[in-house]
Amino acid sequence: MKLSSLRERSLPSAALELQRSLLCIFSEIQASQLSLRLFQQRLLILVAFFMDWFVCGELVRARGSKPRVSIIERQSDDSFDTTRKITLAHSVRLACGCQKAFEMFMVDECLQKWLTEKADVEPRVGGRYELFWNPKDRENDSTIGCKVLAVNEDKFVCFEWEGPVRFKHFLNAARPLTCVTVFFIPCEEGCEVHLLHTGWRDTNEWEQTGQWFNEQWKTALTQLQKCIIG
């Protein structure tokens, strides 16, 4: 699939073609039983940039009937830099199926077991993706106002993300917000989860924040593994 060909397609067909190509590639990797972890991670990073491209409105908005893969547009401010250098990428294998792994990111009760104190998530495009680490202070240390940007059940989900008070003045005020894209790939152990946090600006302040989030995601995914094992 040529990357340039996506610009000539409607949003639903472009997203579906990209998804089909990815699933075929991952199936071939698994069938060959080759150690291609680095290639796989780089491919996922490329997909994350495509997700940024989609959700920032650079493709035509889908019209008419709803596609199976749905994506929502976002507005971009003047500071949004498509040449940003930071992409956080993490992978973890879970001893469960992809459906359960998907639910751990999209069901309130599941999220509250490993990631946050209180969750209010609507598992649909445009739905809320609001997590609260201090439910008594909903405006701080939360993702209040964040939305689900794209979703294909048991395959992937993309949602906006915000940060704690210490980063609020720039991270939460940016448009578009950073976004988290999570892919769920079947594997022998159960499900391989690939998480990418993208949308970072290219400044020292943003780079330091990215380093902080990098460690936070490592800790969170380790907790997710433990939660699945029980």
| Token duo for residue 93 | 């294998």
Q: Which residues pair with 132 in a beta bridge?
A: 118, 142
Please say whether the beta carbons of 92 and 227 come within 8 A. no
Tokens (6 digits) for 222:
């380790």
Query: Can you read off the two tokens belonging to residue 80?
Result: 């949004």
Domains contained in the chain, CATH given:
3-229 (3.30.530.20)
Residue 24 pLDDT level (bands cut at 50, 70, 90): low
Is residue 20 predicted with pLDDT exceeding 60? Answer: no
Instruction: Give buried/exposed letters for 50-62 (b at 16+ CB in 10 A, else e).
Output: bbbebbbbebeeb
**pLDDT: is 24 or 139 the higher one?**
139
Residue predicted with more confidence, 57 or 116: 116
192 Rama sector, left if φ>0, alpha if ψ -120 to 50, beta otherwise: beta
Residue 85 reports pLDDT greater than 90: no
Higher pLDDT, 160 or 86: 160
The mean pLDDT value for 152-166 works out to 94
Side-chain-side CA neighbours of 21 within 13 Å: the count stands at: 14
pLDDT (tens digit per residue) in 131-154: 999 999 999 999 999 999 989 999
Asked if residue 121 has pLDDT above 70, the reply is: yes
Q: What's the pLDDT tens digit per position in 45-60?
A: 556 555 555 544 433 3
- Predicted local confidence at residue 190, as pLDDT: 96
Residues 6+ apart with CB under 8 A from 2: none
29, two tokens: 């990797």
